[in-house]
Amino acid sequence: MRLAVVESGDMAAEVFSFAARNQSHSVVQLRSIDQLLQPLPFSPAAVAVFDSGRPVIDARTIATVRQALPEAAMVVVSQADSFEHRAQLLRAGAHDVVRQPVDPFELLLKLSVWSARSNADESSELKVELSDLMVDAERYRATKNGQPLNLTPLELRILYCLAAHSPNLTPAERLLSFGWGMLEDPDTSLIRTHVCHIRRKLEKAGGKAFSIKSKHTLGYILTIEP
Amino acid sequence: MLALVVEDDQDYASIIEYTLKRGGHEVVVALTSSAALNFCRRKRPELVLLDVRLPDGSGYELCKALRQSNPDLPMLFLSSMDSPAAIVEGLQQGADDYLTKPFHPSELLARVSAIVRRSGRSAPGAERTARRIETSGFVVDLDECRAHYLGRDLQCTPTEIEILAELLSYPGEVLSYQFLTNKIWGYTNVHDSTMLKGHVSALRRKLREANVPDRLVQTVHNVGYTFMPEMDGE
């Protein structure tokens, strides 16, 4: 399942993302709900929003997300106690609104069932093609100019993320989240070595020339050279 | 602080382990009561988290046995059994606290801190500040972030010092790439050793410059690294 987790600094959300990855789901971790409306490495089939309560996520925000992701299964893990608030979020498009603490495995099961029912997980696969470059993050395959790229799993996830955002900038935070599964204390210097290896492997494969440019402190951009 | 987690559900065991590691604890998971007892015969955990239902017996019996052999050991039940009778039984068998599943990870860490505080043991942070390793001519002070060999400053970066400290802490044992990546950076799902190899290569260069014999830090091909201390008389 392609899952987006809005973490809002909640440790329970971080543990939930960890549990989802352990069960082989593709996870993108986000700091705030607004990031759901920005380009992501994939179109999520399920969304788990952990509401930190600062500020409380309102029905209008949920309705905006529902409009942007009409098929996605969405659960809000709320700290608010009031029935009225829960009812508003449900009316705005959430599949469920649950209170902390949550069982991460039960939540994953619910999201899997709901996303399968809405066929949201079949709408697209984790595969990107750019000119003669193909990256399939689900099957761990990447080819360029018809040749396998022999990337490590981490390099493959980074290249997939770059290709999915191309020609736009991929934020460093997104690369860390998709590559390493970390949002907290991201150390962007980790990415540099791996990008360097990816550049070398792309060049070695021949064919269309690609460039991965660094935008200091922001992230990286993968583009096809003219 | 070394925490023993006794939990037969591997999914739950992994998230408890993840949570405790984020709280700065070292974690060992035992899937059965007998594995937990075996572990306690070899090492002394400083904290035990245990489930009530275990495949080879009851967590209550395990708790009672551990309490008899170690009256000061902080123990916490973590169970989906939430009836008052189950909680009372757990506490009567010697547990310091009882938390029901599902739990919030922050609450788990807060309860662990509280029972450790009550037992008079040091918190993980306090333990770390006192960490200093002296062996085979090396002196590694994690608090001061310095490493010396036979009095000579190795000029290591903080990451290199952490790697060296891990290797020195487990003499003769092979530390896998994944174990070291997890210990140094906290990443549990990284199966790529490039980053670690880069730091070990830089560390080796500095060790060589300080005339540290190459045989002390050895590569175990495709597995990891090991520190082989010199025997007396060598």
Residue A107 is inside which H or E element, if any? Answer: helix A104-117
Q: Shortest Cα distance from A138 to chain B (angstroms)?
A: 16
What beta strand segments (E) does chain B contain?
2-6, 26-30, 47-50, 53-54, 57-58, 75-79, 97-100, 132-135, 138-141, 146-149, 152-153, 174-176, 217-220, 224-227
Domain boundary among B73, B102, B126: B126
pLDDT number for residue A179: 81
* pLDDT over threshold 80, residue B126: no
User: Can you tell me the mean pLDDT for A84-91?
Assistant: 91
Using an 8 Å CB-CB cutoff, list residues of chain B that contact chain A: 11-12, 14-15, 18-19, 22, 101-107, 109, 185-192, 194-195, 198
Q: Shortest Cα distance from B187 to chain A (angstroms)?
A: 7
The number of folded domains in chain B is 2
Q: What are the residues facing B14 on neighbouring strands? A: none
Q: What is the pLDDT of residues B79-106, one digit of tens each?
A: 999 898 999 999 999 999 999 999 999 9
Report the largest interatomic distance among the alpha carbons of chain A, rounded to a whole angstrom: 60
pLDDT number for residue B109: 93
* pLDDT over threshold 90, residue B51: yes
User: Can you tell me the mean pLDDT for B225-233?
Assistant: 72
Q: Which of B159, B158, B134, B139 is nearest to B210 (CA)?
A: B139
Determine the distance from the C-alpha atom of residue B124 to the mean position of all C-alpha atoms in its chain, rounded to a whole number. 10
Q: Which of A26, A20, A24, A61 is nearest to A43 (CA)?
A: A26
pLDDT number for residue B186: 65
Residue A150 sits at the chain B interface (C-beta within 8 Å) = no
Q: Which residues of A touch B110 (CB under 8 A)?
A: none
Classify each residue of A36-49 as buried b or exposed e, where b means 16 or more C-beta atoms within 10 Å of its C-beta.
beeebbbbbbbbbb
Q: Shortest Cα distance from B106 to chain A (angstroms)?
A: 7
The number of folded domains in chain A is 2
CA distance A15 to A7: 10
Residue A65, Cβ density class (10 Å: 0-12 exposed, 13-18 middle, ≥19 buried): buried
Closest A-chain CA to B106: A11
pLDDT number for residue A182: 72
Q: Which of A151, A153, A136 is nearest to A41 (CA)?
A: A136
**CB pair distance less than 8 Å for A152 and B192:** yes
Residue A66 sits at the chain B interface (C-beta within 8 Å) = no
Q: Are residues B7 and B103 in the same domain?
A: yes
Q: What is the pLDDT of residues A10-34, one digit of tens each?
A: 899 999 999 999 888 989 999 889 8
* pLDDT over threshold 50, residue A202: yes
Residue A79 sits at the chain B interface (C-beta within 8 Å) = no
pLDDT number for residue A118: 74
Q: Are residues A131 and A216 in the same domain?
A: yes
Q: The CATH number of the domain where A211 resides is what?
A: 1.10.10.10
Q: Are residues B219 and B108 in the same domain?
A: no
Q: What are the residues facing A191 on neighbouring strands? A: none
Domain boundary among A70, A100, A122: A122
Question: Hunting for tokens 């449900």 — which residue is that?
Answer: A90
- ipTM value for the complex: 0.72
Domain boundary among A71, A106, A122: A122
Residue B34 is inside which H or E element, if any? Answer: helix B33-42
Confidence band, pLDDT 50/70/90 cuts, at residue A97: very high
Confidence band, pLDDT 50/70/90 cuts, at residue B122: low
Closest A-chain CA to B17: A15
Residue to test with chain B: of A154, A156, A176, most B Cβ within 10 A: A154
Closest B-chain CA to A190: B195
Three-state secondary-structure class, residue B217: strand
Of A12, A100, A193, the CB nearest to B194: A193
Q: Shortest Cα distance from A87 to chain B (angstroms)?
A: 23
Residue A155 sits at the chain B interface (C-beta within 8 Å) = yes
B124 prior amide bond cis, ω within 30: no
Residue B35 is inside which H or E element, if any? Answer: helix B33-42
Confidence band, pLDDT 50/70/90 cuts, at residue B73: very high
pLDDT number for residue A188: 67
Q: Are residues A108 and A146 in the same domain?
A: no
Residue B93 counted as domain residue: yes
* pLDDT over threshold 90, residue B221: no
Domain boundary among A122, A137, A163: A122
Q: Are residues A102 and A196 in the same domain?
A: no
Domain range for A50: 2-122
pLDDT number for residue B91: 92
- Other beta carbons within 10 angstroms of residue A172's beta carbon come to 22
User: Can you tell me the mean pLDDT for B149-168?
Assistant: 88
Q: Are residues A166 and A69 in the same domain?
A: no
